[in-house]
Amino acid sequence: MKTTVRIGIDGKDLELPTVVGSEGERAIDISSLRKETGYITLDDGYGNTGSCRSAITFIDGEKGILRYRGIPIEQLAEHSNFIETAYLIIYGHLPNRAELRVFSDLLTDNATIHEAMRHHFEGFPADAHPMAILSSMINASSCFSPELWQTSNSDHFESHAAKLISQVRTIAAFSYRKSLGRPIIYPNPAYKYTANFLHMMFSEPYREYPLKPEFVKALDLIFLLHADHEQNCSTSTVRMVASSQANLFASAAAGVCALWGPLHGGANQAVIEMLEQIRQSGDDGRRFIVAAKDKTSGKKLMGFGHRVYRNYDPRAKIIKKACDELLAAANISDPLLDIAKRLEEAALNDSYFVERRLYPNVDFYSGIIMRALRIPTQMFTVIFAIGRMPGWIANFKEIMEDTQSRIYRPRQVYVGPTANDYVPLEQRD
Ligand code: CMC
């Protein structure tokens, strides 16, 4: 049943259609607002703006629900793996055996990057941030697929998507090896996706990295939990770029740049830096909590809070449990985990955090797992980017397949100087 809302503006009555999503989310379609009234809407940070209709991921932030294509994240975390989940997110259904085999073969066949790309790594300084390398190299990859410019985005989509998912992992591992000045380790087709990544990171030409199943499982879970999260900053960036009909690689490279910031994917690195700082200062966490509540301190409790979740982030619950299990199985004790747990308990009992409904998010415990796997802190956000690739690709695909899709082009409320005349240089003193 079609419903409408009525609003009165400047004495004029306007009827606007409403849109109801499949989980009952309600929106007012304001596309005729400016034409009918001259008004636009102003929504700082887009907190109330639905930028698109999407069928990929559902979040209920009040209840702490996250589902990919309708399937609860808890079920996927328990029964699925990253590659199967990537297929689900991109193609909309769980693959049957044949589909999964074709997808896995495509990933294996596309794991190596063009040999000429290796020389690009030489140009970066040894201490370059791997997120800078990753975004540059993803964009550079498009140079080796010239059909990207010659054909439409929908031609070769499957192979480009597979190339991106597979090669982002190869580029990430190569950039790590480069930062150490160590020889590059090529992908081994005998390994599955996540095991292959650990192999490329940590094997040596003279010594194979001993793959521990619990390490592979923990990292695969991290990838899976990051695989999509509806219209966050990086995904919206990917959609923004894709809406101009830029190619998949250009759109994904832009997503990596948006993800890098500490308020978004960069938070996993920032959490560990915060915990390390707390440990080194001899603080038991209480002083930091005081600073995080003080807006003039420039500090925030990193890994806490979320634009959408007003409840415990369901991914954080899963990661916290996985973190405890991994550390116990591998017999690792990490003092930062104790600090993190003390901080969480203190924050969850502090009126500042309770009133603002700030809970741990996905980044609060993921770094402790990555430390246990000996992944360096600077690589944490790269791990997030590898995991998020299926989500970016699925959102790109939605735009590409939407025949009604228009270029994203928000308006603004101009608050600068009103019209004034140009003053020649000699008259300006
Ligand atoms: N520490 C201290 N205060 C906070 C925090 C925090 N981590 N997060 C929010 N607040 C305060 C905020 O200052 C505001 O206070 P007031 O009402 O007095 O002005 C109030 O809580 C409400 O903030 P909000 O509107 O919920 O925040 P937002 O939607 O603008 O920002 C956020 C969301 C995730 C950027 C923010 O919570 C934050 O900066 N958290 C720390 C960084 C972080 O962990 N980011 C990872 C997010 S999850 C993974 C991802 O998306 O990449």
**Cβ burial 83-122 (10 Å sphere, 16+ → b, else e):** bbbbbbbbbeeebeeeeeeebbebbbebbebeeebeebbe
Hey, whose CA ends up nearest to atom 36 of ligand 1?
Answer: 305
DSSP state string for 131-145: HHHHHHHHHHHGGG-
Distance of alpha carbon 254 from alpha carbon 245, whole angstroms: 13
Ligand 1 centre distance from Cα of residue 392 (Å): 23
Atom of ligand 1 nearest to the CA of 265: 52
For the cut 80, the answer to whether the pLDDT of residue 367 exceeds it is yes
Query: What is the residue type of 288?
Result: F
Q: How confident is the model over 189-200, as a mean pLDDT?
A: 97
- The answer to whether residues 258 and 418 touch, using CB atoms and an 8 Å cutoff, is no
* 150-to-155, 247, 252 alpha-carbon distances in Å: 10, 11, 19
Half-sphere exposure of residue 76, counting CA atoms within 13 Å on the CB side?
A: 30
For residue 101, the model assigns a pLDDT of: 97
Q: Which of 62, 274, 300 to mutate to test the pocket of ligand 1 (most atoms within 8 A of CB)?
A: 300
For the cut 80, the answer to whether the pLDDT of residue 287 exceeds it is yes
Distance of alpha carbon 356 from alpha carbon 310, whole angstroms: 8
Ligand 1 centre distance from Cα of residue 302 (Å): 8
pLDDT in tens, 60-119: 999 999 999 999 999 999 999 999 999 999 999 999 999 999 999 999 999 999 999 988
CA-nearest of 327, 336, 337 to 279 is 336
DSSP class of 360: B
Tokens of 340: 């993190």
Hey, whose CA ends up nearest to atom 25 of ligand 1?
Answer: 307
What integer best gives the mean pLDDT of the chain? 94
For the cut 90, the answer to whether the pLDDT of residue 222 exceeds it is yes
**Cβ burial 31-57 (10 Å sphere, 16+ → b, else e):** eebeeeeeeeeeeeeeeeebeeebebb
pLDDT in tens, 1-29: 679 999 999 998 999 999 999 999 999 99
Tokens of 191: 């390994």
Query: What is the residue type of 47?
Result: G
Phi and psi angles of residue 65, each rounded to the nearest 5 degrees, phi first: -105, 135
- For 240, the enclosing helix (H) or strand (E) is helix 233-242
DSSP class of 377: G
Distance of alpha carbon 21 from alpha carbon 60, whole angstroms: 12
DSSP class of 376: -
For the cut 80, the answer to whether the pLDDT of residue 165 exceeds it is yes
For residue 276, the model assigns a pLDDT of: 95
CA dihedral (180, 181, 186, 192) in degrees, to 10, reads 0
Q: How confident is the model over 266-271, as a mean pLDDT?
A: 93
Ligand 1 neighbours, Cβ below 6 Å, are 232, 263-265, 267, 292, 300-307, 356, 358, 361-363
CA-nearest of 17, 54, 56 to 33 is 17
- The answer to whether residues 72 and 66 touch, using CB atoms and an 8 Å cutoff, is yes
Q: Exposed, middle or buried, 232 (CB in 10 Å: 0-12/13-18/19+)?
A: buried
Residue with tokens 């328990």: 78
Hey, whose CA ends up nearest to atom 16 of ligand 1?
Answer: 356
> Percent of the chain having pLDDT more than 70?
100
For residue 129, the model assigns a pLDDT of: 92
CA-nearest of 303, 427, 420, 285 to 366 is 303
Distance of alpha carbon 398 from alpha carbon 239, whole angstroms: 9
Tokens of 372: 């246990």
Other beta carbons less than 10 A from residue 413's beta carbon: 7
For residue 19, the model assigns a pLDDT of: 95
Atom of ligand 1 nearest to the CA of 303: 44
Q: Hey, is 66 helix, strand or coil?
A: strand
For the cut 80, the answer to whether the pLDDT of residue 46 exceeds it is yes
Distance of alpha carbon 239 from alpha carbon 52, whole angstroms: 9
- The answer to whether residues 19 and 53 touch, using CB atoms and an 8 Å cutoff, is yes
Tokens of 87: 């297929």
CA-nearest of 274, 280, 254, 247 to 262 is 274
Known catalytic residues are 306, 363
Distance of alpha carbon 419 from alpha carbon 417, whole angstroms: 7
Ligand 1 centre distance from Cα of residue 90 (Å): 29
Ligand 1 centre distance from Cα of residue 17 (Å): 33
Ligand 1 centre distance from Cα of residue 307 (Å): 7
Hey, whose CA ends up nearest to atom 46 of ligand 1?
Answer: 264
pLDDT in tens, 108-163: 999 999 999 988 988 999 889 999 999 999 999 989 887 877 778 787 899 999 99
Hey, whose CA ends up nearest to atom 13 of ligand 1?
Answer: 295
Distance of alpha carbon 201 from alpha carbon 220, whole angstroms: 15
pLDDT in tens, 314-328: 999 999 999 999 999
pLDDT in tens, 203-217: 999 999 999 999 999
Atom of ligand 1 nearest to the CA of 306: 34
* Residue 360's pLDDT band (cuts 50, 70, 90): very high
